[in-house]
């Protein structure tokens, strides 16, 4: 792929477009060992070797990270007051990463961080009905009646009931443990579904989104790049 040198460098987070333009004109960029002072110079991202400030600058069109989102971090790219999930990806090269979908601030678990808009659309499009699987601890005894209610769709105060979902009881008691599969992503959906059943979500963790399954070796706040097998099933 051919790119302007200033866009190449800016995409890799090495400065704003205006900053890298100034740096290029000062002679801080080299392509194939030749100093380039024209920001509009076209770089072959596959073949050319680029140095910026004497350091190699490799180009990566897309990045894909699996994050085990911790509680207390918001699903956003930037915020003036809160820490965002993108801030946790310290090894990122791209400056345009974003979370695919969102998890509530107090919710943990699987979150895909990327800059691939097409993939995000495939996973988030309401028409696709992509499965999202959650583990939760619930205040109150979850019953087979709840299972059937969730299977039929739950009235959470909107025009339409939720789509049918699959509720599996792992442990029933004063504090119940469940696994829930939903196929949409309404605001606070899981919490609202259990609230409609007269219960309260105490802890919520996403385990799977579509074919992508959380790597349980990742502690909350840890991340890794997607492996080849994961990329194959997603793309």
14 to 3, 7, 45, 93, 168: CA distances (angstroms): 15, 10, 16, 9, 48
Which domains, and CATH codes, for the chain? Answer: 2-56 (3.10.290.10), 64-125+212-234 (3.30.70.580), 131-209 (3.30.70.1560)
Average pLDDT over residues 136-153: 98
Give residue 185's pLDDT band: very low, low, confident or very high (50, 70, 90).
confident
Catalytic residues: 104
What is the reported pLDDT for 119?
95
User: For residue range 116-140, what is the model confidence (pLDDT) as tens digits?
Assistant: 999 999 999 888 889 999 999 999 9
Mean pLDDT of 165-172: 98
């Amino acid at each position: 792929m051919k790119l302007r040198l200033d866009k190449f460098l800016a995409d890799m987070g090495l400065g704003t477009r205006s900053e890298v333009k100034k740096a290029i004109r000062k002679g801080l960029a080299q392509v194939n060992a030749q100093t380039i002072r024209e920001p509009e110079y076209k770089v072959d991202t596959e073949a050319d070797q680029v140095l910026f400030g004497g350091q190699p600058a490799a180009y990566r069109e897309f990045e894909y990270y699996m994050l085990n989102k911790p509680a207390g971090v918001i699903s956003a790219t930037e915020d003036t007051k809160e820490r965002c999930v993108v801030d946790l990806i310290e090894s990122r090269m791209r400056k345009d990463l974003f979370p695919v979908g969102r998890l509530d601030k107090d919710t943990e678990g699987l979150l895909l961080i990327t800059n691939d808009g097409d993939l995000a659309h495939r996973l988030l499009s309401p028409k696709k009905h992509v499965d999202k699987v959650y583990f939760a601890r619930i205040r109150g005894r979850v019953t087979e009646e709840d299972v059937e209610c969730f299977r039929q769709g739950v009235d959470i105060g909107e025009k339409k009931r939720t789509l049918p979902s699959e509720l599996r009881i792992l442990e029933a008691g004063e504090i119940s443990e469940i696994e829930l599969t939903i196929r949409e992503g309404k605001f606070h959906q899981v919490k609202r579904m259990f609230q409609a059943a007269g219960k309260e979500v105490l802890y919520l963790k996403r385990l799977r989104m579509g074919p992508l399954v959380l790597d349980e070796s990742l502690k909350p706040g840890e991340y890794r790049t997607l492996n080849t097998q994961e990329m194959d099933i997603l793309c």
